[in-house]
Structure formats: structure tokens, C-alpha cells
């Protein structure tokens, strides 16, 4: 059984194809027959109604479907693709915010990245001098620098928020 998620006008429909003649749309069963006319034009018999349909593919999942002359922009994904997109959206919406704090009192020697800069995990963001040693403070996650809360030459106490990554 093939299963698809079809989105039309921001409404998602679960479409399952069972065998050659049965289709389920949100668990409602329909008998269907599909006849190729020419090119991308077909006749679709859905229960006792007949529709002339055609489809123009925009990209791998977007189509403009014409049903009896009315156009509908659609998004068609397999259920696996839809679940993958949901996981990606969930991951990006749950992006953590990390506050990097001074590990010890010291002085900010150099700011390498500014607010708005993209960083990869492990990138140097600023250099903090403490006890005559330079400490390279790095990004703990990949993301964007939301804010840098210090200036070069500024002295900071242990626990002071130096920068925030989202």
C-alpha cells in the first residue's frame, strides 16, 4: 500500500492507494480508475464522477494540479518524507540557546565573532586573559551569535555572561 501526505491550501490529507481500484482519503474509501489521454492529461473516475486532470511538476514535491480547469498548487510527500520534514522542523524550532559564561575572572583581550555572526561548534569567539594566560573561548554549538555582552579590554568576574549563541 502506498501512502502519501497531500497538502492543498494548507490542508493536509492522508492519501493511501490500495491495489489498482481503491483509494483512501483520510480513511474515506473511494473506487477509482485512471485513464491516460495524452501528455500529462488524464481522466479520473472517482466513484461515479469523472474528472479531467493534469499535473505540472514544479519540483520534486510541488505540483500544480488542474481538475476540470481549476488549478491547485499541491505538495505531495510520502509519509516517510513528511515525518522527516516534521523532525527537521522540530529540531530547528527547539534550537537551544547557550549562554557562555566566564570560567574565571579575567580581561577580554579580543572579540573574534560579533552579534549576528554564524558560528560552527568549536569556532573561537573570544579570548579571555586570566592569570597571565590566554583562554580561547569557543562556541559549544553551531548557530548564530545572538549577543556579545562584553567589550575588548573589559574585566569580567567568574560567571559573567560573555556571549549567547542560538
Give the tens place of pLDDT for each residue, 112-162: 999 999 999 889 999 999 888 999 999 988 889 999 999 999 999 999 999
- CATH number of the 98-165 domain: 2.40.50.100
3-state secondary structure of 116: coil
CA distance 139 to 117: 12
The backbone torsions φ and ψ at residue 38, rounded to the nearest 5 degrees and listed phi first, read -170, 150
DSSP helix/strand/coil, 82: helix
Instruction: Using DSSP, state whether 69 is helix, strand or coil.
Output: coil
pLDDT level of residue 19 (50, 70, 90 thresholds): confident
Domain locations along the chain: 2-93, 98-165
What does residue 122 show for φ and ψ, rounded to 5 degrees?
A: 100, -10
Q: Tens digit of pLDDT for each residue in 27-61?
A: 899 999 999 999 889 999 999 999 999 999 999 89
More confident residue, 36 or 9: 36
Class of domain 2-93: alpha beta
Give the pLDDT of residue 107: 95
Contact between 64 and 54 (Cβ < 8 Å)? no
- Sequence-distant (≥ 6) Cβ neighbours of residue 20 within 8 angstroms: none
Q: Quick one: which of 34, 25, 73, 75 has its CA closest to 53? A: 34
Q: What is the pTM of this model?
A: 0.53
Cα(136)–Cα(127) distance, integer angstroms? 5
Amino acid at each position: 500500500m502506498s501512502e502519501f501526505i497531500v497538502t492543498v491550501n494548507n490542508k493536509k490529507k492522508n492519501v493511501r492507494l490500495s491495489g489498482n481500484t481503491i483509494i483512501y482519503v483520510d480513511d474515506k474509501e473511494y473506487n477509482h480508475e485512471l485513464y491516460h489521454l495524452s501528455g500529462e492529461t488524464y481522466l479520473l473516475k472517482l466513484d461515479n464522477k469523472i474528472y479531467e486532470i493534469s499535473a505540472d511538476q514544479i519540483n520534486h514535491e510541488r505540483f500544480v494540479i488542474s481538475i476540470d480547469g481549476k488549478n491547485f498548487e499541491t505538495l505531495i510527500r510520502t509519509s516517510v518524507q513528511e515525518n522527516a520534514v516534521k523532525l527537521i522542523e522540530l529540531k530547528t524550532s527547539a534550537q537551544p540557546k547557550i549562554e557562555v559564561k566566564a570560567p574565571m575572572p579575567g580581561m577580554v583581550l579580543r572579540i573574534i565573532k560579533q552579534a549576528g555572526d554564524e558560528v560552527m561548534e568549536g569556532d573561537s569567539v573570544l579570548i579571555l586573559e586570566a592569570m597571565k594566560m590566554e583562554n580561547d573561548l569557543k562556541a559549544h554549538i553551531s548557530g548564530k551569535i545572538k549577543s556579545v555582552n562584553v567589550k575588548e579590554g573589559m574585566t569580567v568576574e567568574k560567571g559573567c555572561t560573555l556571549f549567547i549563541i542560538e
